[in-house]
Chain A
Amino acid sequence: MTVSMTDRAPDPVFSEPWHGQVFALTVHLHDKGLFSWPRWTDRFGAVLARHGLSKELDGGEDYFAAWLETLEAMLAEEGAASGAEVDRMRAAWEKAYLSTPHGHPVHLA
């Protein structure tokens, strides 16, 4: 599939809420001094290049998937959030969503 270069319809800034959330989290962690921006772009560029070997990335969902993978790897290296911690917390959130009646705010138990 090729990407249309001529589609001029205005795109939403973030097509999924989590795209904006992972973007903001990264910008904020940089603001807080957790990593330099050149280090971020080097790592992110490497992940994009690796993902781009098996398919042509369209700059949408696949772009933010690479972004999240990069951030998770850097936070694990920094000791800020290990893979095991993220897996546990992700499972806790999934459980919270599945046990909260529809329409109610979702909170961790």
Chain B
Amino acid sequence: MPHDDPDHPHSLLPPDPALRVKALETILTQKGLIDPAALDVIIDTYQHRIGPKNGAQVVARAWSDPAFRAALLDDATAAVSEMGFFGRQGEHIVAVENTPEVHNMVVCTLCSCYPWPLLGVPPAWYKSDAYRARAVREPRKLLSEFGVTLSEGTSVRVWDSTAEVRYLVVPMRPEGTEGLSPEALAELVSRDAMIGTGVAVAP
């Protein structure tokens, strides 16, 4: 963009909240309370390095390795930390496994608690009032809008996340995937399947 653009004689003014965040950063940096370089690292981490691929690796390993599956269901915090995934808020991670009888789905009715180390930052819909209210009130109807239709015999269990406990849904392994490697299986595990608003599907 040319520097002498007559429509923009000065720098484009960021929106009000952006200026307020900048102000906070400046004040806290001047007081020595924050390290500005650390902020860039955190943003980069959540934009590029932490996301649902982490959780998909965990699920694929649980499908492939019975000992790991047992360890994950027993103490997910320990099992995933062994794979290098740590919660930075000191929270516990609990893995809940879907079966033909029970379909699990996760919500945070308070705000937007979510297993960041495994799924990254939640999508906007997870944070919306609509999802947070309806996941509790009418989970089956909500699931059908996500394209998940459960059979009559499957009950829905909704888990409400907190600052201390975050949930990871382990979806059912799709049929016909017996010969697949953990890497290939991980490709079948979507973010929504690990929130419980989707299912894993065979390729």
Q: Which A residues lie at the B interface, using CB under 8 A?
A: 2-8, 11, 13-18, 20-25, 27-32, 34, 37-38, 40-42, 44-45, 48, 52, 56-60, 63-65, 68, 71-72, 75, 80-81, 85-87, 89-90, 92-94, 97-104, 106, 108
Contact = CB atoms under 8 A, between A and B. Distances in A.
Contacts of B19: 90, 93-94, 97
14 contacts: A5-B125, A11-B123, A13-B120, A25-B21, A31-B88, A38-B163, A57-B127, A57-B128, A65-B17, A80-B28, A86-B23, A86-B27, A97-B10, A98-B13
Contacts of A34: 33
Could you tell me the dominant secondary structure of chain A's interface residues? helix
Interface residues of B, number: 66
A76 to B, nearest CB: 10
B1 A45 contact: no
Contacts of A28: 34-35, 38-39, 42
Given A65-B17, A93-B19, A20 B35 contact: no
B137 interface: no
Interface stretch (B60-68, B140-148, B151-159, B178-186): B140-148
A17 B163 CA distance: 25
Interface of B: 1-5, 8-28, 31, 33-35, 38-40, 42-43, 46-47, 51, 88-91, 110-113, 120-121, 123-131, 142, 145-147, 162-164, 192, 197
Contacts of B91: 37
B178 to A, nearest CB: 28
Given A8-B192, A14-B121, 20 more contacts: A3-B125, A3-B130, A5-B197, A11-B123, A11-B124, A21-B22, A25-B28, A25-B39, A27-B42, A30-B88, A38-B164, A41-B162, A59-B123, A59-B128, A64-B17, A80-B27, A93-B23, A97-B19, A101-B9, A102-B5
